[in-house]
Amino acid sequence: MFCHGLCDGGDGGNRGIGHAVCERLAGDGHRVLLVARDPERGRRAAASIRGDVEFVAGDLTTTASVRRLADELRARCPRVDVLVHNAGVWPSRRVLTSDGVEESFAVNHLAPFLLNHLLEDRLGRVVQVSAGLYVKGRAEPGRTSVGAGFSSLRTYADTKLCNLLTVPLFAERWREAGVTIDAVHPGVIRTGLGDRGGPLGWLLKAAKRRWATAEEGAAPVVALAGGTGTGRYFDQAEEVPLQGPALDGDLARRIWDEAETLTAVR
């Protein structure tokens, strides 16, 4: 059983929903590999969870670092029963990685896309943690990847839409092999995702006090880890149909082709 996340800029295996998911899975008796970028925080997080939990250092911001992570996971796991993609970045400013792509696009979309390909011969099931804000997104090949027209909210929604567009394509790709994939919006959760400084940050922290806890957000993710369906989208515990641009099959294929080129998986 493998659960991955990113510690900086989002809810990784070392905090928030990612930590709660690892805790629940380990508590159910599964072997969990917790991935985080910060070694110190990642080790502390793994040590804080009772059960069979191992820390794996992994950076999801570049294709080279994702490939190194995949090599490490392949060395440790002959079989990946469940791969949970939980890493997320809600950007406050436009930052390009060394690959020349916008950072949240790299983490939210390219990293899970590449890991799915690099580990697919060992996968049993994939759970993609998504976001209901995908409906506000606009996926534009050649523009979203570089953060063109950057906006904190809009760019986050754009990257989540890009990622979600590939879920039905993975479901179809893996159908004969028996590998399944579902996506889930865990709800509006009180985590560190999107935290800011200054007055706006203070207002956000005040609003978050009324939001659901990370443990509550982990519940639908853990439930899907034991699921058997594929190509579905869940709003918390309820399966719901995709909306708007997420239904555009031609756009999905263009987003897929762009991700193949950017990650060189061909």
In angstroms, the CA 140 to CA 207 distance is 32
Core vs surface per residue 86-106: b (16+ CB within 10 A) or e: bbbbbbeebbebebebbbbbb
- Strands (E) across the chain are located at 2-4, 32-36, 53-57, 80-85, 123-129, 180-185, 232-235, 238-239
CA angle 182, 4, 244 (to 5 degrees): 35
In angstroms, the CA 108 to CA 130 distance is 9
Q: Give the dihedral of Cα atoms 79, 112, 11, 146; nearest 10 deg.
A: 160
Q: Give the dihedral of Cα atoms 22, 65, 263, 21; nearest 10 deg.
A: 10
- The one catalytic residue among 156, 174, 234, 256: 156
Which residues, 6 or more positions from 201, have their beta carbon under 8 angstroms from its beta carbon? Answer: 195
Instruction: For residue 156, indicate whether it is catalytic.
Output: yes
What letter represents residue 104's amino acid?
S
Which residues, 6 or more positions from 219, have their beta carbon under 8 angstroms from its beta carbon? Answer: 24, 186, 237
Tokens representing 19 are 């930590």
Asked if residues 167 and 128 have their Cβ atoms less than 8 Å apart, the reply is yes
Q: Return the active site residues.
A: 156
